[in-house]
């Protein structure tokens, strides 16, 4: 018998913890009086309560992933998922079946996001069943389910208002089939269930059909990216006067112009105030307030583009940056002192951490100027928001915005709030970021005449950043994974490819099995470093060679022995003993040094990179002697020869 491994609500409480056995035998009224239990001193309530459905979980039964809980009643109103529980007084109903199945799913430890989507699926199933079988006994229908093929057509429809002709995605269609699969999956645990699998044992993905293959987000061409970043930096550099004028206008000048009486001693009319404002702005080179506001919007857009383009962060991460996000750290390495700069923020990628997870993005130190100017611009907005928020609290107005407004007062990117009824400067959302990027690209294309794409989405900066890192001498997937806050390297590898097969094509050479083979050889520490390469690296003999190549990763795998660690870079494959640590990437100081590195192995997958390096070195050779160019030429010739041999072997 399966039970929840939880404590009772109290030692002195007469309530008992619900078990799966009781779930099957007891009526709804009897189950409603049972307790789900207590976890770390926090009561989880009873089976009849709604709150337990939306506790955040952590893979284990009822273990909270976060201290922040969602209010089920608010979710119920928002999703319009309430159904009539009066039916539960009779036999087994859909309402009780839904609660039973979701309770069993809850016991398995699914995330709140999954639970919410499956609750929506039960609502759709309930609407369909009520449409065709209203008045029919649910237990009788379970014994002989009818019209399931019609339900397949039903799950494709969008049930929202004004969306009845739309079709939902394949993923959501599969989710809507989950009630039927759960009624069969938990057949031994439910009071009444499906006796046979729905749709003839076909999986939900097979029933729905193959989903549409979406293309990767395109990347921005390097030439266009350079123009965009240069234009953004130019706007930021020339924004001081506009920011100063904007702040002075809203902090004091507008109020002075508004309160100054006319020559007759009367309050100025709207037209008089408009003429005064225009006259004031003309003194500073602006024909109207709209011209000043547009320059401020372009500055905000340029600042957002710079941060997106130079960090690769997500839109949600950009909007959550605080006004004190820029930080610096001084460090010492040997006798060298250096300073690193980064943005401290939160990443909201994972649904089981709704309050976010702390993260750092390495940035150029020049971004400090961008952050300082944004804070200068938003200083008057924050002051006005603070005053308006206190006024709303005293009047009891806009209560639903109080918390968001207080949080936005610490944010880096906030709206002006002038066009809203509440006059509060709120934190940017995804739509605001997209509008700013669109405005910036239209400005570059239409007004500046630059050859840049009109259609650039915020996520394209993330993909482009990954592509540039992949092609750079520091193209470490692990470093990029840390920058992007990815849980696994697979996602990072997908990003770095950028839709181009020639970029990091070594990833496609069965990288996961290659790394697994290395790990397996490390398990048996009694074996010596076999294959030759491991012994050579360990003893230092490998350093006597100018460079080492391998036809592909599969060939290299046969040469690697026990105790060796592999680090895959865009320019090489670093193979070194585990006790000597990872590759230090010292070749960033001298790219040719990578060839002579005792731990470096280069495969034809890195040929495009070294061809580019050779082109650069040959161009520099015209101006003088370039050290190491002969080594690079020899390396490129060797890699091309390996490519030809591989092609002949394949034929």
Question: Average pLDDT, stretch 156-160?
Answer: 74
Pair (105, 234) in one structural domain: no
CB 422 within 8 A of CB 400: no
pLDDT at 599 over 60: yes
pLDDT at 528 over 70: no
Q: Which two tokens stand for residue 632?
A: 């690079």
Q: Exposure string (b/e) for 346-381, b if CB count within 10 Å is 16 or more?
A: bbbbeebeeebeebbbebeeebeebbebbeebbebb
Residues 308 and 377 in one domain: yes
Is residue 188 assigned to a domain? yes
Q: Establish if 490 belongs to a structural domain.
A: no
User: For all residues of the chain together, what is the average pLDDT?
Assistant: 72
Q: Tell me: the pLDDT tens digits for 333-373?
A: 444 455 678 888 887 765 445 556 788 887 888 889 999 99
Please write the tens of the pLDDT for every residue from 32-65.
Answer: 878 766 555 556 667 776 555 544 333 333 333 3
Q: Please indicate, yes or no, whether residues 522 and 641 belong to a single structural domain of this protein.
A: yes
Which band of pLDDT confidence, cut at 50, 70 and 90, is reported for residue 472? low
* Pair (174, 108) in one structural domain: yes
Buried b (16+ CB within 10 A) or exposed e, 287-318: eebeebeebbbbbbbbbbbbbbbbbbbbbbbb
- Look at residue 444 and give its three-state secondary structure: helix
Judgement on whether residues 149 and 275 belong to the same structural domain of the protein: no
- Beta strand segments in 225-379, E: 326-333, 336-347, 357-362
Tally of domains in the chain: 3
User: Can you give the residue range of the structural domain that contains 261?
Assistant: 222-447
Overall average pLDDT of the 572-600 stretch: 57
* Cα 254 from Cα 571, distance rounded (Å): 58
Residue 593 has pLDDT above 60, yes or no: no
CA–CA separation, 583 and 562 (whole Å): 18
Which single residue is written with the structure tokens 């069993």? 104
Mean pLDDT, range 294-316, rounded to an integer: 91
Going by their DSSP bridges, the two strands 573-577 and 42-43 should be labelled as unpaired
| Domain C-terminal end among 161, 176, 208 | 208
User: Which of 250, 272, 263, 298 lies closest to 448, judged by CA?
Assistant: 298
pLDDT for 328 = 84
Give the span between the Cα atoms of 601 and 572, in whole angstroms. 6
8 by Cβ neighbours in 10 Å (0-12 / 13-18 / 19+) ranks as middle
Quote the pLDDT of residue 334. Answer: 40
- Which two structure tokens, joined as six digits, stand for 485? 């806050």
Residues 253 and 383 in one domain: yes
Separation of alpha carbons 93 and 138, rounded Å: 6
Please determine, for residue 534, whether its predicted confidence score (pLDDT) is greater than 60: no
Q: Are residues 284 and 146 in the same domain?
A: no
Q: How far apart are CA 19 and CA 59, in angstroms?
A: 19
Is there a single domain that holds both residue 635 and residue 555? yes
């Amino acid at each position: 018998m399966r039970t929840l491994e939880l404590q009772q609500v109290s030692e002195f409480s007469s309530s008992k913890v619900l078990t799966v056995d009781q779930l099957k035998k007891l009526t709804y009224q009897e189950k409603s009086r049972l307790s789900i239990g207590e976890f770390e001193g926090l009561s989880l309530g009873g089976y009849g309560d709604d709150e337990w459905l939306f506790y955040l979980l952590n893979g284990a039964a009822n273990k909270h992933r976060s201290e922040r809980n969602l209010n089920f009643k608010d979710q119920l109103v928002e999703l319009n998922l309430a159904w009539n529980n009066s039916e539960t007084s009779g036999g087994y109903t859909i309402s009780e079946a839904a609660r039973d199945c979701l309770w069993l799913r809850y016991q398995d430890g699914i995330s709140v996001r999954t639970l919410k989507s499956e609750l929506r699926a039960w609502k759709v199933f309930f609407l369909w069943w009520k449409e065709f079988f209203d008045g029919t006994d649910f237990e009788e229908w379970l014994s002989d389910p009818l019209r399931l093929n019609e339900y397949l057509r039903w799950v494709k429809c969008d049930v929202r208002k004004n969306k009845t002709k739309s079709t939902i995605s394949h993923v959501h269609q599969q989710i809507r089939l989950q009630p039927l699969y759960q009624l069969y999956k938990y057949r031994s645990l439910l009071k009444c269930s499906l006796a046979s699998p729905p749709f003839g044992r076909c999986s939900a993905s097979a029933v729905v059909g193959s989903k549409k293959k979406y293309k990767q987000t395109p990347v921005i061409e390097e030439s266009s990216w350079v123009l965009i970043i240069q234009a953004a930096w130019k706007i930021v550099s020339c924004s001081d006067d506009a920011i100063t004028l904007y702040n002075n206008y809203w902090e004091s000048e507008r109020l002075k112009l508004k309160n100054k009486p006319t020559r007759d001693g009367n309050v100025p009319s709207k037209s008089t105030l408009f003429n005064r404002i225009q006259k004031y702005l003309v003194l500073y080179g602006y024909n109207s307030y709209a011209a000043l506001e547009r320059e401020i919007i372009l500055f905000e857009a340029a600042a957002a583009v710079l941060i997106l383009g130079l960090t690769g962060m997500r839109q949600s991460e950009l909007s959550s940056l605080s006004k004190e996000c820029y930080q610096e750290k001084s460090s010492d390495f040997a006798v060298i002192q250096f300073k690193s700069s980064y943005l401290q923020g939160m990443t909201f990628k994972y649904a089981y951490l709704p309050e976010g997870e702390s993260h750092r993005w390495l940035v150029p130190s020049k971004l400090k100027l961008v952050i300082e100017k944004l804070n200068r611009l938003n200083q008057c907005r924050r002051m006005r928001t603070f005053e308006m928020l206190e006024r709303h609290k005293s009047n009891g107005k806009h209560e639903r915005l109080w918390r968001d407004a207080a949080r936005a007062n610490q944010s880096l990117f906030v709206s002006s709030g002038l066009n809203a009824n509440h006059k509060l400067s709120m934190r940017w959302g995804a739509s605001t970021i997209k509008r700013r990027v669109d405005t910036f690209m239209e400005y570059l294309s239409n007004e500046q005449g630059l050859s840049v794409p009109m259609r650039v989405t915020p996520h394209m900066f993330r993909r482009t950043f990954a592509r540039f890192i992949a092609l750079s001498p520091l193209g470490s997937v692990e470093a990029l994974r840390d920058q992007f806050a990815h849980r696994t390297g697979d996602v990072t590898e997908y990003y770095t490819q950028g839709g181009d097969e020639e970029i990091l094509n070594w990833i496609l050479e069965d990288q996961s099995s290659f790394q697994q083979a290395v790990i397996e050889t490390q398990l048996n520490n009694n074996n010596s470093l076999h294959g030759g390469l491991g012994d050579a690296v360990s003893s230092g003999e490998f350093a006597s060679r100018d460079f080492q190549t391998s036809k592909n990763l599969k060939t290299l795998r046969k040469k690697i022995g026990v105790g060796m660690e592999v680090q895959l870079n865009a320019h090489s494959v670093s193979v070194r003993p585990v006790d000597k640590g990872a590759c230090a990437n010292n070749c960033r100081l001298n790219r040719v040094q990578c060839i002579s590195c005792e731990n470096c192995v280069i495969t034809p997958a890195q040929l495009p990179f070294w061809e580019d390096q050779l082109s650069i070195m040959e161009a520099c050779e015209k101006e003088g002697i370039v050290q190491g160019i002969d080594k690079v030429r020899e390396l490129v010739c060797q890699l091309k020869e390996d490519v030809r041999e591989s092609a002949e072997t394949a034929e």
